[in-house]
Amino acid sequence: DAGVTQSPTHLIKTRGQQVTLRCSPKSGHDTVSWYQQALGQGPQFIFQYYEEEERQRGNFPDRFSGHQFPNYSSELNVNALLLGDSALYLCASSWGGNSPLHFGNGTRLTVT
């Protein structure tokens, strides 16, 4: 039973570029949440997708957008990258909104 998988594991981009990160949820899960974790900090909630709709959103600018596909997998897109977007991006899946979250190992994004 595969857990949450994220790709790529590492990524280096230049300021102003765009990036797409991908997440496949744990089998049986229908809800995907994305988090940004800066070094030495706890994860910050970006948004959550359920039934292909953005259900909740944290305090992130519109440069951060996402999508959920019919198979429950999800993408996180970040436009016009800034140096401050460098972080570990974590995807978590769950069944519904009140069950334990299962996290992937994240994508380490470095913006130069």
- Give the footprint of another protein on this chain (CB under 8 A): 4, 33, 35, 40-45, 48, 56, 58, 88, 90, 92, 97-98, 100-106, 108
Nearer to another protein, 4 or 78 (CB): 4
Q: Which is nearer to another protein, 39 or 83 (CB)?
A: 39
3-state secondary structure of 98: coil
Nearer to another protein, 77 or 99 (CB): 99
Is 74 within 8 Å of 25 (Cβ atoms)? yes
Q: Would you say 80 or 110 has its CB closer to another protein?
A: 110
Minimum CB distance to another protein, residue 84 (Å): 17
Whether 55 contacts 48, CB under 8 Å: yes
DSSP per residue over 35-95, as a string? Answer: EEE-TTS--EEEEEEETTEEEEE-S--TTEEEEE-TTS-EEEEE-S--GGG-EEEEEEEES
Shortest reach from residue 108's CB to another protein, in Å: 7
Q: Say if residues 96 and 66 touch (Cβ distance below 8 Å).
A: no
CB of residue 107 to another protein, shortest distance in Å: 10
State the minimum distance, in angstroms, from the CB of residue 76 to another protein.
15
